Amino acid sequence: MQEAIINKAKQLLADGTVDRVIGWKKGEFAYDITPAVFGSAEEIDADFVYDDFTSANVSKYLVKETKKEGKVLVFLKPCDTYSLNQLIKEHRVDREKVYVVGIPGGPKLDIEKIKAKGISGILSVKNENYTLKIETIYGEETMPFSEAILDKCASCKSKKHVVYDELIGEDGEVLESNRFDMVEQLENMTAEERYNFWREQLSKCIRCNACRNVCPACTCEKCVFDNPTSGVENKAASDSFEENMFHIIRAFHVAGRCTDCGECSRVCPQNIPLHLLNRKFIKDINSLYGEYQAGEDTTSRAPLTNYTFDDCEASIVHERGVE
Amino acid sequence: MQMNENKEFEPLIVAFCCNWCSYAGADLSGTNRLNYPTNVKIIRVPCSCRVNPMFILRAFQRGADGVILCGCHPGDCHYTSGNYFTRRRMTLLFSMLDFLGIERDRTRVEWVSAAEGAKFAATMNEFTEAVKKLGPNRRLEDLRCRKQ
């Protein structure tokens, strides 16, 4: 797959269709792969990677890249195409300046899950028939592929590309996923249990803002959390209110626009299950205002910028579920 | 939050009232000499739609024990559709607060027209009683803001 992608990128650069390529490049270790912009075939040959660790959703980088001169080539997995579609819908990305090549999706690997097995000093990870051969400085280890996949891939919602110019490989289908299971579990707890669960999770927050910075739906030039006079910055450690407030507002600001790509949880250095907050909003929107998948198209109105005369009243919250 | 002489808990209620209906409704309940508790502090907003989720969280942070949002009845909004958006937003926000385990009876949306002075007073009486039963807001307070 990596070879096909690299050849495609070089071909499109050579015939002048695009001027730059957004992809992934090697990091210090085999598993810390980062998104990168490539300007020439030499750069691509040197650094471009596509493997089981290229889980980063690169669609957000298009917001800045498409403001520059020339056309950009981007390789998107199915889940990433939803994010791009949402950005196009919100006029954050000019579709004319992007050349989208759809590539097959995950499941991708989570290095933390491999490390959690007590495997350290990792040099390389190879997938052979769904068994991982992990080469370490202490010798070779193996573990099943299925035990190391990212949480966001374990509850994959779709293998279908919703926007592309061409595809490498086959297009898939929208899947039946179990992504709301954990939200339901929490809903069935008592209020006190839920409170304790979230206190335990959110008190880990170090307010690094990684969840906000990676989110393809968070593209405001000026963010409410960056207001230097509001005093909200760098206070996560000082009071539980700040932690709750940050995460409620972060999730609320993307409600109805979140495509559930799961990047927020993936990048969280403290492993807070942030996607549960987004999924709660998605689940509520689906059940109260009709099924809605953000990023599926570029024409429908988002649920929070829309209304009907017979929407339910807010008191519905007080009437349902566990106290 | 404050304690009166008998050490009975007196909640602090913040009521966001829209300028065109609910604020006039509150005024009417006053001119009609109807009683509603002094616990209720009214904040006038141009439209119920002006209230963003941060207002509600900030109210809780600075010591409110309950927050109620009053606006025109759906269909009567001075700006045609503001309260329809409020309705969706607040439903989702309250549902999220509930999801985080914050007592859901501390929040409410009520539609009060300019002619419903009696409804305004009754709503405030009832809401204050409900919050009084819940006790002080501990789950969404900011210790740095506690006045003691």
Q: What is the pLDDT of residues B55-87, one digit of tens each?
A: 999 999 999 999 999 999 999 999 999 999 999
Least confident of A239-243, A244-248, B61-65: A239-243
- Looking at residue B3, its pLDDT comes to 58
Query: Could you tell me whether strands A20-25 and A34-38 are parallel, antiparallel, or unpaired per DSSP bridges?
Result: antiparallel
Residue in chain A lying closest to B75 (CA):
A309
Our CA-based measurement puts residue B94 at a distance from the nearest CA of chain A, in whole angstroms, of: 7
Which residue did the predictor score with more confidence, A229 or A203? Answer: A203
- Looking at residue A323, its pLDDT comes to 57
Residue numbers in A near B142 (CB within 8 A): 239, 241-242
Cα–Cα distance measured from residue A45 to residue A43, given in angstroms and rounded to the nearest whole number: 5
- Looking at residue A222, its pLDDT comes to 85
- Three-class SS state of A92: coil
Q: How confident is the model at residue A62 (pLDDT cuts 50, 70, 90)?
A: very high
Q: Give the N- to C-terminal CA distance of chain A in Å, as an integer.
A: 51
Handedness of CA A135, A139, A140, A141 (dihedral sign): negative
B99, B108, B144, best to mutate vs chain A, most A CBs in 10 Å: B99
Our CA-based measurement puts residue B65 at a distance from the nearest CA of chain A, in whole angstroms, of: 14
Average pLDDT, integer, range A114-121? 86
- A14: contact with B, CB 8 A cutoff: no
- Looking at residue A234, its pLDDT comes to 56
Beta-bridged to residue A140, according to DSSP, are A135
Q: How confident is the model at residue B99 (pLDDT cuts 50, 70, 90)?
A: very high
A180, A244, A253, A282, best to mutate vs chain B, most B CBs in 10 Å: A244
Average pLDDT, integer, range A137-163? 88
- A197: contact with B, CB 8 A cutoff: yes
* B94 Cβ contact list (under 8 Å, min separation 6): A314, A317, A318, B104, B107, B109
Our CA-based measurement puts residue B30 at a distance from the nearest CA of chain A, in whole angstroms, of: 27
> pTM, whole model, 2 decimals?
0.92
Q: How confident is the model at residue B148 (pLDDT cuts 50, 70, 90)?
A: low
- Chain-chain contact of B100 with A314 (C-beta, under 8 angstroms): no
Cα–Cα distance measured from residue A299 to residue B81, given in angstroms and rounded to the nearest whole number: 21
Cα–Cα distance measured from residue A98 to residue A190, given in angstroms and rounded to the nearest whole number: 48
C-beta of residue B27 within 8 angstroms of C-beta of residue B110: no
How many Cα atoms occupy the beta-carbon half-sphere of B101 within 13 Å? 18
Does the pLDDT value for residue A236 go beyond 70? no
- Chain-chain contact of B99 with A224 (C-beta, under 8 angstroms): no
Nearest neighbour of B91 by CB, restricted to A251, A305, A316: A316
Residue numbers of A between 36 and 75 with CB closer than 8 Å to B: none
Identify which of A30, A75, A73 has the alpha carbon closest to the alpha carbon of residue A51.
Answer: A30
- Chain-chain contact of A313 with B109 (C-beta, under 8 angstroms): yes
Percent of chain B predicted with pLDDT > 70:
95
CB neighbours of residue A52 within 10 Å: 22
- Three-class SS state of B69: strand
- Chain-chain contact of B91 with A239 (C-beta, under 8 angstroms): no
* B52 Cβ contact list (under 8 Å, min separation 6): none
Identify which of A15, A20, A92 has the alpha carbon closest to the alpha carbon of residue A60.
Answer: A92
Handedness of CA A191, A196, A197, A198 (dihedral sign): positive
Backbone phi, psi, residue B3, to 5°: -110, 135
- DSSP letter (8 states) at residue B107: E
Peptide bond into A144 cis (omega under 30): no
Residue numbers in A near B64 (CB within 8 A): none
- Chain-chain contact of B93 with A252 (C-beta, under 8 angstroms): yes
- Looking at residue A158, its pLDDT comes to 87
Cα–Cα distance measured from residue A294 to residue A255, given in angstroms and rounded to the nearest whole number: 9
Cα–Cα distance measured from residue B108 to residue B134, given in angstroms and rounded to the nearest whole number: 14
- Chain-chain contact of B74 with A238 (C-beta, under 8 angstroms): no
Q: In what order do the strands lie in the sheet with B66-71?
A: B40-45, B13-18, B66-71, B107-111
Give the best-scoring range by mean pLDDT among A50-59, A102-111, B23-32. B23-32
Identify which of A91, A87, A124 has the alpha carbon closest to the alpha carbon of residue A109.
Answer: A124
Cα–Cα distance measured from residue A6 to residue A16, given in angstroms and rounded to the nearest whole number: 16
The pLDDT mean for chain B works out to 92
Q: How confident is the model at residue A31 (pLDDT cuts 50, 70, 90)?
A: confident
C-beta of residue B87 within 8 angstroms of C-beta of residue B51: no
Which residue did the predictor score with more confidence, A176 or B57? Answer: B57
Q: How confident is the model at residue A226 (pLDDT cuts 50, 70, 90)?
A: confident
Average pLDDT, integer, range A269-280? 93
Percent of chain A predicted with pLDDT > 70:
96
- Looking at residue A126, its pLDDT comes to 86
- Chain-chain contact of A305 with B102 (C-beta, under 8 angstroms): no
Residue numbers in A near B88 (CB within 8 A): 289, 303-304, 306-307, 311
- Looking at residue A97, its pLDDT comes to 93
Residue numbers of B between 97 and 136 with CB closer than 8 Å to A: 97-105, 107-109
Size of chain B in residues = 148
Q: For chain A, which residues make up each domain, given as ranges? A: 1-108+152-176, 111-148, 179-323
- Looking at residue A206, its pLDDT comes to 85
Nearest neighbour of A318 by CB, restricted to B101, B104, B142: B104
Give the best-scoring range by mean pLDDT among A136-145, A172-181, A185-194. A185-194
Does the pLDDT value for residue A231 go beyond 70? no
- Three-class SS state of A132: strand
- A238: contact with B, CB 8 A cutoff: yes
Q: Render the burial of B90-106: b for 16+ CB within 10 Å, e for the rest.
A: bbbbbbbbbbbbbbbeb
C-beta of residue B88 within 8 angstroms of C-beta of residue A289: yes
Q: Which two tokens stand for residue A291?
A: 């099924």
Give the best-scoring range by mean pLDDT among A71-80, A104-113, A238-247. A71-80
Beta-bridged to residue A174, according to DSSP, are A158
Least confident of A230-244, A267-281, B122-136: A230-244
Beta-bridged to residue B36, according to DSSP, are none
